[in-house]
Every structure is written in structure tokens, then in C-alpha cells.
């Protein structure tokens, strides 16, 4: 179907356009389909951010990391802001889901207490990649308020998961403790003391 006269032309997928340019049936039959290209680009964007930071992230670098034509970037995303929002939303969702799963597995207050300890010791900032991505998101949200919806949604999900076991005030305190202790442990040049985490959680839950 052609665009109406005077109307804006629809974006053209470079790979699809290149395929349709050839009339040979064998070319059309062997053209590689890529239905998950957009999702792969978003994942690749997170890898690039973890490697060079938001300031160093470009369409060219992401396209190379995702192994897609450079023209595909403008086909799937209106601009870099849309790609960054999609990428950080995916990252925050992944971390929040893991957080909730850890707490959902607890069936008693004692198990919930242990789950909080395990989140600090094993889940949040479990890798250098997670640490970098989290701080890149925080920095971006601090500079540009429109990105704070991502961090606010992330915090709301974390507190909701905690509130399934603890009252709202305690959940807020635990959320702040988890955030602070994981940052301190991740950036400490000496080996962190796991016993300190257990004691800190216990002091909040058993004052």
C-alpha cells in the first residue's frame, strides 16, 4: 500500500527494503528474518552502556553490538532517548522481578528476613555490569527528571514486595538499607563483612 499524497512516508526497514529490491525468488526465499531484532538492540544497548557509559553510547556502537544494520536504529527507535528509556526500563524490570521473586519465596517472617539479607549479599549489584548500569541510570535520572519515572517505578515495586511481609514504614527502611549497603559493599576496596549485613537487617526488624 502506498502512502497518501502529501502524507508522511512510513519508516523503511533497511534489511526489508534491500530484500524487496531484488526480484529473484531465491533471494526472497533465503532472506534472513529477524523478528526479535528490536529486543536484541535493547539488550545490546545495556551492554554498551555498561562498557562506555550513557555519554559514550551511540547508534553506531549499539548497532555493532547487536549485529544489525545501522539504519535499523532509526527504523525501530525515534531517537537515542527512546532507546535509553527502553533499555533502562528493561534493566529495572529485570532487577525488580528478581527482588520480588526472592521475597515471594519466603513463607514466614524469619524467611523474609533471610531473603532481605540474601538480596543484599547476592542479588543487587551481583555483577559489575549491574553496578554500572544502576549508577548510570541514577546519574541520568538526577540530571533529567523525565527518567525518574523509571527509578520511581523500580522503588515502588521493591517496596510493594517488602510490604507483603513488613509494614510500610519498615519496608521503606529496609529498602533504603538494601540500597545503601549494596552500594557500600560494591565500592569497598576491602572484603565486605557479611555478618554486618545480618546485624543491620536484624536491628531494623528487631529493635
The yes-or-no verdict on residue 193 having pLDDT over 70 is yes
Percent of the chain clearing pLDDT 90 (strictly above): 70
Question: What's the rounded Cα separation, in Å, for the pair 121 and 117?
Answer: 6
Mean pLDDT of 118-138: 90
Q: How confident is the model at residue 102 (pLDDT cuts 50, 70, 90)?
A: very high
> Would you say 82 and 44 are in contact if contact means Cβ atoms under 8 Å apart?
no
Q: pLDDT of 143-172, one tens digit each?
A: 999 999 999 999 999 999 999 999 999 999
Count other C-beta atoms under 10 Å from residue 143's C-beta: 9
Q: pLDDT averaged over the chain?
A: 86
Task: Enter the C-alpha cell of residue 70.
Answer: 545501522
Percent of the chain clearing pLDDT 70 (strictly above): 84
Contacts of 184 (CB under 8 A, 6+ apart): 192
Task: Enter the C-alpha cell of residue 67.
Answer: 549485529
CATH class assigned to 37-205: mainly alpha
Amino acid at each position: 500500500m502506498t502512502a497518501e499524497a502529501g502524507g508522511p512516508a512510513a519508516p523503511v526497514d533497511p534489511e526489508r527494503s534491500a530484500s524487496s529490491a531484488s526480484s529473484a525468488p531465491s533471494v526472497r526465499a533465503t532472506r534472513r528474518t529477524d523478528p526479535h531484532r528490536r529486543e536484541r538492540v535493547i539488550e545490546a544497548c545495556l551492554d554498551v552502556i555498561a562498557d562506555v557509559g550513557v555519554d559514550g553510547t551511540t547508534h553506531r556502537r549499539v548497532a555493532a553490538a547487536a549485529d544489525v544494520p545501522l539504519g535499523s536504529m532509526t527504523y525501530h527507535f525515534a531517537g537515542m532517548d527512546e532507546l535509553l528509556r527502553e533499555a533502562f526500563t528493561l534493566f529495572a524490570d529485570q532487577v525488580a522481578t528478581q527482588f520480588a521473586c526472592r521475597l515471594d519465596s519466603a513463607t514466614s517472617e524469619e524467611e523474609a528476613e533471610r531473603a532481605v539479607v540474601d538480596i543484599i549479599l547476592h542479588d543487587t549489584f551481583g555483577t559489575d555490569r549491574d553496578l554500572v548500569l544502576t549508577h548510570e541510570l541514577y546519574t541520568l535520572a538526577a540530571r533529567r527528571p523525565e527518567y525518574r519515572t523509571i527509578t520511581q517505578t523500580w522503588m515502588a515495586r521493591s517496596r510493594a514486595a517488602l510490604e507483603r511481609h513488613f509494614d510500610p514504614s519498615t519496608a521503606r527502611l529496609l529498602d533504603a538499607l538494601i540500597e545503601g549497603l549494596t552500594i557500600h559493599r560494591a565500592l569497598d576496596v576491602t572484603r565486605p563483612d557479611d555478618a554486618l549485613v545480618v546485624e543491620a537487617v536484624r536491628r531494623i526488624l528487631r529493635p
